[in-house]
Amino acid sequence: MRAEPVTILHVEDDDVDAMAIERGFRRLALAPPIVRAKDGYEALEILRGTHAGQRLHQPFVVLLDWSLPRMGGGELLARMRADRELRTAVVFVLTTSRDPADRLAAYELNVAGYLVKSDRTEELLPALAMIAQYGRVVELP
């Protein structure tokens, strides 16, 4: 197992949801490094290293909201999969959408998991624990 946690790129436009994720990781005593982007454009800039010189170092996992302003999660994911350097990124969708078409679109773009958000932090904890553990035990690209 990897001694240190992987970095999480959390692509989320809602401040309350972002704080809930951070609070959930802290409650689990996992606290992986989290870098946040508020939309798909900002996420691409971070992934490509053009956002104020900030670039994620491997290994990392993307926690992606599906409903984002400017560039939604589906478009961001499609761009990542078309990019030679980003196509192997591990992406989990964390969204409020229960629409089967959204879920199918996400899996067609090779996500590691599609998780529906809950308003209750306690319901998020198992998903966050799984994501943190995933980053510790899997050999990532």
User: What's the CATH number where 56 sits?
Assistant: 3.40.50.2300
Asked whether residue 75 is domain-assigned, the answer is: yes
Distance CA 62, CA 125 (A): 17
The answer on pLDDT for 28 being more than 90 is no
Asked whether residue 1 is domain-assigned, the answer is: no
Q: How much is the pLDDT for 4?
A: 67
Q: List helix spans (H) across the chain.
A: 15-27, 40-48, 73-82, 100-108, 121-137
Pair of tokens at residue 42: 């900002």
> CA quadruple 33, 38, 44, 49: dihedral positive or negative?
negative
* Pick from 68, 137, 73: nearest CA to 81: 73
pTM: 0.89
The answer on pLDDT for 53 being more than 80 is no
Distance CA 45, CA 85 (A): 13
pLDDT category at 29 given cuts 50, 70, 90 is confident
Percent helix, percent strand, percent coil in the chain, to nearest 5: 40, 20, 40
pLDDT category at 112 given cuts 50, 70, 90 is very high
Number of domains observed in the structure of the chain: 1
Distance CA 19, CA 15 (A): 6
pLDDT category at 119 given cuts 50, 70, 90 is low
Asked whether residue 2 is domain-assigned, the answer is: no
Q: What is the mean pLDDT of residues 86-98?
A: 93
At 126, phi and psi to the nearest 5? -60, -40
Lowest mean pLDDT among 10-14, 26-30, 78-82, 111-115: 26-30
CB 28 within 8 A of CB 3: no
Q: Which residues pair with 92 in a beta bridge?
A: 63, 113
Residue type, 11: V
Domain that holds residue 87: 7-137
The answer on pLDDT for 70 being more than 70 is yes
Q: What is the mean pLDDT of residues 89-113?
A: 95
The answer on pLDDT for 49 being more than 90 is no
